[in-house]
Amino acid sequence: MHSAPAQIDGVVDIVRDYFSQPIRMLQSWVNVLADELIEARSSSALTRNRIDAIVKPYAKKTLALTSVPVYGAGFIAAIDLLADSRSHLAWWQGKNQSQLILASQSVNKELIDYSELEWYRVPMVSGKPHVAGPHVDYLCSDEYTITVAVPVPGEGSFAGVAGLDLLIDAVERDLTPQLRAMGGEVTLVNAVGRVVISTDPSWATGDSVKGSRLAELPRASCEGVALDVIFDPNNGGLSGTP
Amino acid sequence: MSPPRVDETDVRAASADSAPSMRPTRLHGALFQPIGDEGRAELVERRLIDAITRGHLRAGERLPSESDLARSLGVAPVTVREALLTMRERGLIVTKRGRNGGSFVTDNADPMMFAREALRSSSRLALRDLGVHYAAITGACVRLAARRADSSEVALIRRRLERLDELDADQQRRLLDDVQVELVALSQSARLTREQMKLQAEFSPFLALAAQAGIDAAAQGESLLRLSAAIDAGDPLAASAETEELIDATINALIRLQSDPH
């Protein structure tokens, strides 16, 4: 077993910086949103329309973030928070930053129960920010996505989660050159050993490193984002088959 | 020699008493196919039919107001009005005036009526081909899932099935569909997941019908448990085989139902 080389710390810094920006953006408005929701609820029933109007400016602000490629953003309500609907997403996404209307998607997504999905379940239970994925986000983006989520305080328990989507394509484009510049082969994996991105083209996003050569290599955690960096100091031709 | 035109005859005979707006051939899934370019009024109609099929709008129940429908579906009120007119003409809803007026689902509306209608107007060939298509895409997804899923992910999905027998029929259908798409998404393929979801939307009402014809929700749940086990074991062929078995059984049950609609 190798001891972690010095370059690994540099890679960890890059990754933590990259993913802490979306987390900080969401954290910048969750408490204000929480207050607004409590106030709104005290004056009259909290409906889908009222939540959409309250959340929209925060979603738009998040979509305007330039340091990471935000594809979608918004608020996912706790079950039964609203008066006129058991569940609700106040979500804006895409090239035009248009509002996502689940009921009018070509496949009716309105009734999908999101309460068991990782990006909702984990922050609601832990009370902490969470980076989920890579996963096929079949509810919102319909693409291979990383979802960053921060719980929104509520009366008693959480009112829901504030979230944003990063498309893997875009993250790959952003991060891979930075990781490659550190030398060696760098592979970023999530908590279950799934590859997020890798500078080594023989490792595809979505592959599992469990039981492979990579699982034995020096690895460092990126605190606060539940991602690990695997560093392969061998360059190019010596790395062999995964 | 030209091939026997059995299927066209089946369809013509079956469509004799079906709604005038239904076009013959390949219409078996038309009611449940994803919204294409048909226009927004079609969307409203489909969503209302969906709500009736799922029991969210029951016989005799009042529909949401035109403006509420417009807002929740992201369409103009005039589009809602157009859709409601069509549904009135098809005898699916009635409009009452006066103090307690509004649009209501007809008293004899049955949640399964649309699935039954779709089945009646479909040919065996079309049904089997739907099964083939659905099996091909879902099979590809579960084979990938078997290669790429982590045990912890499968365990979480499997746990969701534990609640199945506590739920009513509509909730059971919902849970089975949700679990199916979660397993499919473990493929890590966005394209395949999107394709599968469209087919699931088309196939799901038939799965609901099959639940009344020998392949009940419990049996479908058990099949998904076996599928989960195959994915967990990293066995693509077993995963594929389990999916195909359920689909075959469903199609056969539907064809039996077609010949004997009781």
Query: What value does the mean pLDDT take over residues A209-233?
Result: 91
* Whether B47 and A103 lie within 8 Å, measured CB to CB: yes
The token pair at B107 is 């008293």
Domain boundaries, given as residue ranges, for chain A: 18-167, 170-233
Q: Has residue A235 got a pLDDT over 80?
A: no
Please determine, for residue B167, whether its predicted confidence score (pLDDT) is greater than 50: yes
Q: How confident is the model at residue A128 (pLDDT cuts 50, 70, 90)?
A: very high
Q: Which residues contact A6 (CB under 8 A, 6 or more apart)?
A: none
Three-state DSSP at A79 gives coil
Q: What is the pLDDT of residues B43-76, one digit of tens each?
A: 888 888 888 777 778 788 888 888 888 887 878 8
Interchain pair B185, A135: CB under 8 A: yes
- Mean of pLDDT values over B79-83: 91
pLDDT top residue among B126 and B5: B126
A36, A67 Cβ separation under 8 angstroms:
no
Q: Chain-wide mean pLDDT for chain B?
A: 84
Reading the block at residue A238, the tokens are 């010596």
Question: What pLDDT sits at residue B4?
Answer: 41
| Identity of residue B136 | A
- Alpha-carbon distance of B179 to B136, in angstroms, equals 18
Nearest residue on chain A to B152, alpha-carbon basis = A192
Q: Name, in order, each residue with C-beta under 8 angstroms of A37's C-beta and a sequence gap of 6 or more.
A: A46, A51, A54, A81, A152, A154, A159
**According to the model, what pLDDT value does residue B36 have?**
52
Mean pLDDT of B214-237: 97
* Cβ neighbours for A121, distance < 8 A, ≥ 6 positions apart: A115
The answer, for A143 touching chain B at a CB cutoff of 8 Å, is yes
Give the H or E element holding residue A103. none
Q: How far apart are CA B234 and CA A217, in angstroms?
A: 24
- The DSSP symbol for B164 reads G
- Strands (DSSP E) contained in B133-248 are none
Domain A18-167 annotated CATH 3.90.550.10: no
* Contact with chain A for residue B167, Cβ under 8 A: no
pLDDT tens-place string over residues A59-116: 999 999 999 999 999 999 999 999 988 999 999 999 999 999 988 787 888 889 999 9
pLDDT of the residue at B35: 57
Query: Above 70 in pLDDT, residue A161?
Result: yes
Q: Report which of A166, A170, A167, A219 is spatially closest to residue A193, judged by C-alpha positions.
A: A219
pLDDT surpassing 60 at residue B6:
no
Q: Which positions ≥6 away from B110 have C-beta within 8 Å?
A: B59, B116
- Judge whether A207 is closer than 8 Å to chain B, CB to CB: yes
Q: Is A103 in CB contact (< 8 Å) with chain B?
A: yes
Q: Which pLDDT belongs to residue B117?
A: 84
* Residue ranges of domains in chain B, CATH in brackets: 26-110 (1.10.10.10), 115-259 (1.20.120.530)
Q: What is the pLDDT of residue A105?
A: 81
DSSP-assigned states of every residue in A202-234 = TS-TT-B-TTSGGGGS-EEEETTTTEEEEEE-S
Percent of chain B with pLDDT over 90: 50
Q: Confirm if A128 and A93 have CB atoms less than 8 A apart.
A: no
- How many CB atoms lie under 10 A from the CB of residue B138? 27
Distance CA B74, CA A55 (A): 17
Mean pLDDT of B92-102: 84
Looking at residue B33, what is its pLDDT? 58
Provide the percentage of residues in chain A whose pLDDT is more than 90.
80
Residues ≥6 apart with Cβ < 8 Å to B67: B77
Test A48 with B72 for CB contact under 8 angstroms. yes
> B34 and chain A: CB distance < 8 Å anywhere?
yes
- Provide mean pLDDT across the span A195-206: 93
A90, β-bridge pairs: A75
Reduced to 3 states (helix: H, G, I; strand: E, B; else coil), residue A115 is helix
Least confident of A14-18, A235-239, B223-227: A235-239
- In this complex, do A113 and B194 lie within 8 Å of one another by their Cβ atoms? no
**Is B51 in the A-facing interface, judged by CB distances under 8 Å?**
no
DSSP A193: S
Chain-chain contact of A107 with B50 (C-beta, under 8 angstroms): no
Residue B105, phi then psi, degrees to nearest 5 = -70, 135
How high is the pLDDT of residue B28?
Answer: 41
Task: Tell me whether residues A136 and B197 touch, CB distance under 8 A.
Answer: no
Residue B148: list chain A partners with CB under 8 A: 194, 206-208
A208 touches chain B (CB under 8 A): yes
Residue A94 has what pLDDT? Answer: 96
Nearby residues of B132 by Cβ (< 8 Å), 6 or more positions away:
none
Strand partners, A229: A188, A220
Q: How confident is the model at residue B260 (pLDDT cuts 50, 70, 90)?
A: confident
Half-sphere exposure of A175 (CA within 13 A, CB side): 27
Say which amino acid occupies A24: R
Q: Which of B62-76, B145-159, B236-250 is predicted with the least confidence, judged by mean pLDDT?
A: B62-76
User: Residues with Cβ < 8 Å from B7, sequence gap 6 or more?
Assistant: B123, B124, B125, B126
**If you search the block for the tokens 């392949």, which residue do you land on?**
B215
Question: Residue A173 pLDDT > 70, yes or no?
Answer: yes
Task: Report the amino acid identity of residue A8.
Answer: I
pLDDT at B25 over 70: no
Taking the C-alpha atoms of residue B246 and residue B242, their distance in angstroms, rounded to an integer, is: 6
DSSP state of B109: -
For residue B38, name the pLDDT band (cuts at 50, 70, 90). low
DSSP structural state of residue B62: B
Give the residue from B173, B188, B202 with the most A CB atoms within 10 Å of its CB, the best one to mutate: B188
Contacts of B197 in chain A (CB under 8 A): 107, 138
pLDDT digits 0-9 by tens, B176-200: 999 999 999 999 999 999 999 999 9
The band of B31, judged by pLDDT with boundaries at 50, 70 and 90, is low
Report, as an integer, the average pLDDT of B87-92: 84
Are B47 and A192 a contacting pair at CB < 8 A? no
> Among B73, B188, B197, whose Cβ lies nearest the Cβ of A104?
B73
